[in-house]
Amino acid sequence: MKPAPFENFNEIADTGERILPAVDGEISVVFSRHKFAYEYVRQLVAGKSVIDVGCGAGYGCKILAETALSVCGVDYSAEAIAYCQRHFSGPSITYLQMDANALALGRQFDIAVTFQVIEHIPNPGDFIEKLKRVVKPSGTIFITTPNVKKPQGAKDANPFHCSEMDYTRFHQLISNKFSAFEILGVAYASQNRMRSFVGKLPFYKWGKRLARKSVLKKVATRALDLTSFKIINSNLEKDAADFLAVCQIKS
């Protein structure tokens, strides 16, 4: 089942810190990737109680709630929580304003998800320990983060990220915190020779700065097939746009 299309929501500032839903006439590759991860995990949370830590704009909670027993979205931003409640509420969804580094909810959830959050956290290891404290024995934690193969220069660095990781660093972090886990990748759904070529050109990064409604961005996205994704379990270092860790809590 596909989630309902997103409407035109303009009242929250697009600072670049959080991922906002793309509306009709807009293109956002990062949003498409983020939404895909939620849609993938949606099939794995049926009948479960779920906490979404760093829920941002709330569309992910709405997607998870299509199968989950209940979903609790947590975000430190009062503005974000108000936005969630206005646009992505539901009978099985609750939202709480709370710092992800100070979760005080007890071990009450079957599943925790935290998507595109850990790279914003100064101490990812401590953050994971806090996640483990809110998940029941035999529960699961899903974590996504971008695959940053090499550090960005000062001009291109994301000012909101402080813990970006390549595969080696991410695997080390997860293996230090969990004895049972699997790391998957979110990758482009199909091979595209043009995308591989263009991605190496200096001007490719300029496209990331184009407005979501840019005609050029729409044409390029269509030609390079930048909004269709799949889950992979090999060649993650090279092919994954994002990593997806599936981590088991000991019973």
Give me 61's structure tokens: 């909670």
The H or E element spanning position 82 is helix 78-87
Report the CATH number at residue 49: 3.40.50.150
Mean pLDDT check: name the lowest of 39-53, 70-84, 102-116, 208-222: 208-222
Residues 100 and 42 in one domain: yes
Q: Quickly list DSSP for 21-52.
A: PP-TT---HHHHHHHHHHHHHHTT-TT-EEEE
Residues 120 and 213 in one domain: no
Model confidence over 128-149: pLDDT tens digits? 999 999 999 999 999 999 999 8
Q: Are 148 and 166 in contact (CB under 8 A)?
A: yes
Residues 205 and 102 in one domain: no
Confidence of residue 191 (pLDDT cuts 50, 70, 90): confident
Q: How much is the CA Rg of the chain, to the nearest whole Å? A: 18
Q: Could you list the residue range(s) of the whole structural domain that residue 213 is in?
A: 191-224
- Around 239, how many Cα atoms within 13 Å sit in the side-chain half-sphere? 17
Residues 118 and 237 in one domain: yes
Residues 162 and 92 in one domain: yes
Model confidence over 218-243: pLDDT tens digits? 545 555 557 789 999 999 999 999 99
CA distances 160 to 17, 102, 116, Å, are 6, 19, 11
Residues 147 and 198 in one domain: no
Identify whether 12 is part of a domain. no
Identify whether 53 is part of a domain. yes
Instruction: Report how far residue 209's alpha carbon sits from residue 75's, in angstroms, rounded to the nearest whole number.
Output: 26
Q: Are 175 and 181 in contact (CB under 8 A)?
A: yes
Instruction: Report how far residue 104's alpha carbon sits from residue 98's, in angstroms, rounded to the nearest whole number.
Output: 9
Q: End-to-end CA distance of the chain: give it in Å, rounded.
A: 32
Residues 55 and 151 in one domain: yes
Counting the structural domains of the chain, the total is 2
Model confidence over 54-109: pLDDT tens digits? 999 999 999 999 999 999 999 999 999 999 999 999 999 999 999 988 898 989 99
